[in-house]
């Protein structure tokens, strides 16, 4: 995260008005992670809960709800090794926005995902 969570959140917020991403669960999960890094835990909790409600994957839902519960307890992250959600990179070359996001469960060695949004 070259420019910090505030800069990443600004870019992620710009994507929230994109109709094609309205029901895409990784956008609120990215926002939740960035908000947690900024210490805005109530907002982060709401974003993780929204992301959990949008995903059809039970494992991802559990990870996202664990993150929401950690925020509700006043922690930015759940117990070590349980899960990690992070923005691995955001850039805006030539007016296009790309964002990388990973969901990792280190207990099960789940493979991280990298997604790219472009044409924004």
For the chain, what are the domain ranges?
Answer: 4-78
**For residue 79, what pLDDT band results from cuts at 50, 70 and 90?**
low
Classified as helix, coil or strand, 81 is: coil
Percent of the chain with pLDDT over 90: 59
Question: CB–CB of 7/90 below 8 Å?
Answer: yes
Q: Give the per-residue pLDDT at 26.
A: 95
Q: What is the mean pLDDT of the chain?
A: 75
**pLDDT grade for 21, boundaries at 50, 70 and 90:** very high
State the Rg of the chain over Cα: 13
Average pLDDT over residues 66-84: 75
């Amino acid at each position: 995260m070259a420019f910090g969570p505030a800069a990443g959140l600004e870019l992620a917020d710009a994507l929230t008005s994109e109709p094609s991403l309205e029901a895409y669960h990784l956008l609120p999960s990215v926002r939740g992670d960035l908000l947690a890094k900024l210490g805005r835990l109530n907002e982060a909790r709401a974003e993780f809960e929204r992301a959990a409600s949008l995903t059809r994957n039970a494992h991802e839902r559990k990870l996202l709800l664990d993150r929401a519960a950690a925020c509700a307890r006043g922690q930015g992250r759940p117990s070590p090794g349980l899960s990690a959600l992070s923005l691995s990179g955001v850039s805006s070359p030539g007016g296009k926005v790309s964002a990388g996001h990973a969901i990792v469960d280190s207990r099960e060695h789940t493979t991280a995902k990298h997604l790219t949004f472009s044409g924004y």
